[in-house]
Amino acid sequence: MSYEQEVKEKAIRAREAARRLAYLSTEIKDRALLQMAESLIKNQQAILEANEKDVRSGKEMGLSKALLDRLLLTPQRIEDMAEGLRVVAALPDPVGEVESMWTRPNGLQIGRVRVPLGVIGIIYEARPNVTVDAAGLCLKAGNAVVLRGGSEAINSNKAIASVISAAAAEAGVPAGAIQLIENTDRAAVGALLKASGLLDVLIPRGGAGLIQRVVQEATVPVIETGVGNCHVYVDEDADPEMAVAIVINAKCQRPGVCNAVETLLVHQNVAGRLFPGLLEKLKEAGVQIRGCAKTRAYAPWVVPATEEDWATEYLDLILAVKVVENLEEAIEHIYRYGTKHSEAIVTQNYSRARQFLQQVDAAAVYVNASTRFTDGYQYGFGAEIGISTQKLHARGPMGLKELTTYKYIVFGDGQIRQ
Amino acid sequence: MSYEQEVKEKAIRAREAARRLAYLSTEIKDRALLQMAESLIKNQQAILEANEKDVRSGKEMGLSKALLDRLLLTPQRIEDMAEGLRVVAALPDPVGEVESMWTRPNGLQIGRVRVPLGVIGIIYEARPNVTVDAAGLCLKAGNAVVLRGGSEAINSNKAIASVISAAAAEAGVPAGAIQLIENTDRAAVGALLKASGLLDVLIPRGGAGLIQRVVQEATVPVIETGVGNCHVYVDEDADPEMAVAIVINAKCQRPGVCNAVETLLVHQNVAGRLFPGLLEKLKEAGVQIRGCAKTRAYAPWVVPATEEDWATEYLDLILAVKVVENLEEAIEHIYRYGTKHSEAIVTQNYSRARQFLQQVDAAAVYVNASTRFTDGYQYGFGAEIGISTQKLHARGPMGLKELTTYKYIVFGDGQIRQ
């Protein structure tokens, strides 16, 4: 079967399933999620064997150690995937919620009710756990899903998808609700991007290259997830101890993720107090510093920053540091180089905190907290499909609610328009 | 200046203005809207003269009567545009609304606050009043706007845009907030479609051809407005009198708009009672009926419907009519041919009303009311930028709120992630 045919046929099957999924009872959806979890555990031997194949050929292909680690499944990781499904089962169902309802002067009662999006396409890279996470979240929100994982994980994904699809169907989920594209040709992604009319939305999860391709080529509506060139600005009225703790956390706690800080901006009046302790601690933590001239005046060992550094999402233990004259310069720098993901100010000054919150345009703006909190779990959504960096539909962490849309339901007694 | 250059320069100017517009006070925005209204009236002579040029060359080019009527401005129509701005000034400002705020176990306070989208591109056709409406709505929601109207109205649009821009700037709105693309080359639309990074969203307002082009070519996120192949289903338990009133209203009150009904579905058990009165009335109102075989058994004078009729948005005094066996067949027909705009059931049966509301996937689903109510004014939004037929971001009538997005603001006391 050609990849176009595979994409089309599976999308159509998902579409058919989506019709019934849209009003499937929460009871059946939750039962399905629990059975999927159980079935993952029961079939872990088959999944681990399939994964071994992927890891073996990954090694032969010379995949990096980091990539191989993402690819690798263990009994513990399978248990984690199962636990993720159980957590989603326990979350409230967003579908059917009437967010507001009002009555017009002519007696029409108009309500806005949450409904599923329909068919969601997910394009992702090496990690096979996304297959389970995405399928679980989409199912709970009443959507069918068409999954397209990286070719490196194809055997793992096939094993996982077959296990969870069967468990879901057994629990009463319409057959076809979970589709995996098995063709590993890059062109199959192209076919998904052009499947408008079949897919309601595409969510790419991966690096900047994938996201750019999707935005450029897709005719299906896309929710962009992604790039986070995040800043922490330490104001002149910052508590230095708090500033150090936040910067270290935002950079080092998990440097490879989108909500980690990439550039530190420091008010000139606080640099002298802040830098000695902070820069030493960052160095000890293994962070390479790339600083502006003023930063290097305090610490000559710092690597000089280039224009490119301000615009780079390192996703690594590297931090660009710039001394600024005032809050305005910090806001200007963030406007110019930021990617509207997560931005933080550390300050005890009330007016400047307000100014930062108001004038910085990003999915999440923080006062006196680490940017690392931009995350569906940390926000209390219970689960996350990704973090949106676009402005339409959903912004920031996306939980179950963001996988739905709404429709208006209108109750009348024969009203006609005058 | 080339069209690429014009689009780029104007979008950049809009972008700069958008930064300050995002937190411009409601007071200044409302004052600007009122002054724009006043200025339209004061400068109506110049606007009418520019419009005369457009109408003259429109006649020479052989524009249809309907198109010429849309193009034509009169003192009354200018007063209507001004009144529209006054209405928008009186509406509540959506920007800054904190929709919800909660506290996490670690003490972080997380709030979701409405913010403008940024720069909105509007692509529209002949009607010059859209220039005023769109500029007013975008301004109130804190957005800069890049307008690209049809070439037939270029002189009118230039005159209007210059008047309202000047008035807005005088009231304190950042210069550049309202941009009009003056190049009438079709390719200028293409440049807008590709202006990602400069425009935050594009809203096309026009016929199916324009919408299709936009969806196919745009790399900027798009809110699709548009096509409405709407249905009224008359159930066997319908009140026949109510059914007649609703069908006549939905077809005839304004046949050229997207929320008018295009296909009538009638339960077989009610056809005999309904048809004699209804079909005669429709005929009297000048409606051409295209019916299925069963419909023609009741009224042999009815034109036979073809497969194409079920899929057509006539936007005219034509109605397709089909007799169905039951509610399920009606829902199936709507799923197959509908465009997910507005769908209505007429029934006194509680369970079937619920089933229709639940199983029909459309922006607006009605029980016992005319589809003509799908409209921002009728829903109580006070104003409307268009009706979305897509599922992401906004669905159905779009008022001021739909021209905004949100960001998360997070207040901490030094929280770092564990």
Of A88, A212, A222, A71, the closest CA to residue A149 belongs to A71
Average pLDDT over residues B256-269: 96
* Amino acid identity for residue A395 in this structure: R
Across all residues in chain B, what is the average pLDDT?
95
**In the prediction, which pLDDT does B12 show?**
97
Which residue among A253, A368, A409 sits closest to B412, beta carbon to beta carbon?
Answer: A368
Look up tokens 């295009």; give the residue: B262
Distance from CA of A152 to the nearest CA of B (A): 29
> Other C-beta atoms within 10 Å of B113: how many?
19
Q: How far apart are CA A250 and CA B396, in angstroms?
A: 41
Please tell me which of the candidates B250, B378, B410 has its beta carbon nearest to residue A366: B410
Q: What share of chain B has pLDDT > 70, as a percent? A: 100
Nearest chain A residue to B112 by CA distance is A364
The string of pLDDT tens digits covering residues B90-132 is 999 999 999 999 999 999 999 999 999 999 999 998 789 999 9
Give the C-alpha separation, A92 to A137, whole Å. Answer: 12
Helix (H) or strand (E) holding B366: strand B364-369
- Measured CA to CA, the distance from residue A309 to residue B92 in angstroms comes to 43
Q: Give the burial class of B104: count Cβ atoms within 10 A of its Cβ; 0-12 exposed, 13-18 middle, 19 or more buried.
A: middle
CA distance B94 to B402: 9
CB contact A285 to B (< 8 Å): no
Write the residue in B196, B370, B391 that is nearest to A415 by C-beta: B370
Q: Which fold has domain A230-373?
A: Aldehyde Dehydrogenase; Chain A, domain 2 (3.40.309)
What DSSP character marks residue B151? G
CA distance B363 to chain A (A): 5
Give the Cα separation of A166 and A39 in Å (integer). 9
CA angle A154, A157, A158 (to 5 degrees): 85
Q: Establish if A377 touches chain B: CB-CB under 8 angstroms.
A: no
Binding-face residues of A in 188-247 toward B, CB within 8 A: 196, 200-201, 215-216, 219, 221-223, 239, 242, 245-246
Cα–Cα distance for residue pair B294/B304, rounded to 1 Å: 10
Half-sphere exposure of B131 (CA within 13 A, CB side): 34
Distance in Å, alpha carbon of A229 to nearest chain B alpha carbon: 16
Using an 8 Å CB-CB cutoff, list chain B residues near A102.
380
What type of residue sits at position A114?
Answer: R
B239 — pLDDT class (breaks 50, 70, 90):
very high
Average pLDDT of the segment spanning B379-384:
92
Determine contact, residues B402/B385, Cβ cutoff 8 Å. Answer: yes
b/e map of A143-162 (b: 16 or more CB within 10 Å)?
A: bbbbbbbbbbbbbbbbbbbb
CB–CB contact B391 A200 (8 Å): yes
Of the partner residues B219, B358, B391, the one whose CB lies closest to the CB of residue A216: B219
CA nearest B68: which of B81, B56, B82? B56
Beta bridge partners of A406: A114
**Contact (Cβ atoms closer than 8 angstroms) between residue B52 and residue B75:** no
B373·A102 Cβ contact <8 A: no
Residue B226 clears pLDDT 90, i.e. is over it: no
pLDDT tens figures, B281-325: 999 999 999 999 999 999 999 999 999 999 999 999 999 999 999
Closest in A118, A246, A357 to B416, CB measured: A246
Annotate B144-167 with b (16+ C-beta within 10 A) or e (fewer): bbbbbbbbbbbbbbbbbbbbbbbb
Is residue B224 within 8 A of residue A219, CB to CB? The reply is no
Cβ <8 Å between A246 and B414: yes
CA distances from A1 to A8, A160, B341 (A): 11, 22, 35
- Residue B417 is nearest to which of A249, A358, A392, comparing CB atoms? A249
Query: Using an 8 Å Cβ cutoff, are A360 and A366 in contact?
Result: no
pTM over 0.90: yes
* Cross-chain Cβ contact B416/A253 below 8 Å: yes
* Count of CA atoms in the C-beta half-sphere (13 A) of B141: 27
- Cβ-contact B259, B396 below 8 angstroms: no
Q: Which pLDDT band holds residue B19 (cuts at 50, 70, 90)?
A: very high
Residue A351: strand, helix, or coil: helix
Q: What is the structure's pLDDT at A196?
A: 84
- Sheet containing B261-267: which strands, arranged edge to edge? A98-103, A109-116, A404-415, B364-369, B342-346, B230-234, B261-267, B318-324, B288-291, B303-304
Q: Whose CA is closest to A78, among A109, A107, A38? A: A38
Give the sign of the dihedral formed by CA A146, CA A151, CA A157, CA A161. Answer: positive
Task: Give, for B115, the enclosing helix (H) or strand (E).
Answer: strand B109-116
Q: What SS3 state is found at A363? A: coil
Q: Find chain B residues with C-beta within 8 A of A407's C-beta.
A: 361-365, 395-396
- To which H or E segment does residue A355 belong? helix A350-359
Alpha-carbon gap: B381 to the closest alpha carbon of chain A (Å): 11
Mutate to test the interface with A, among B367, B395, B410 (most CBs of A within 10 A): B410
Q: Which residue ranges make up each domain of chain B? A: 3-224+393-411, 230-373
Residue of chain B whose Cα is closest to the Cα of A199? B391
Contacting B residues, span 310-369, partner chain A, CB-CB under 8 Å: 335, 357-359, 361-369
Instruction: Identify the architecture of domain B3-224+393-411 in CATH.
Output: 3-Layer(aba) Sandwich (3.40)
Taking only the tens place, the pLDDT of each residue in B48-79 is: 999 999 999 999 999 999 889 999 999 999 99
Question: Cβ–Cβ contacts within 10 Å for residue B10, how many?
Answer: 24
Query: In chain B, what percentage of residues exceed pLDDT 90?
Result: 90
Using a CB-CB distance cutoff of 8 angstroms, which residues of chain A are in contact with residue B408? 363-365, 374, 379, 395-396
Spans of chain A below 70 pLDDT: none
CB contact under 8 A, A405 and B413: no
Residue among B117, B249, B409 minimizing CB distance to A391: B117
Chains A and B: how many Cβ contacts under 8 Å?
Answer: 195
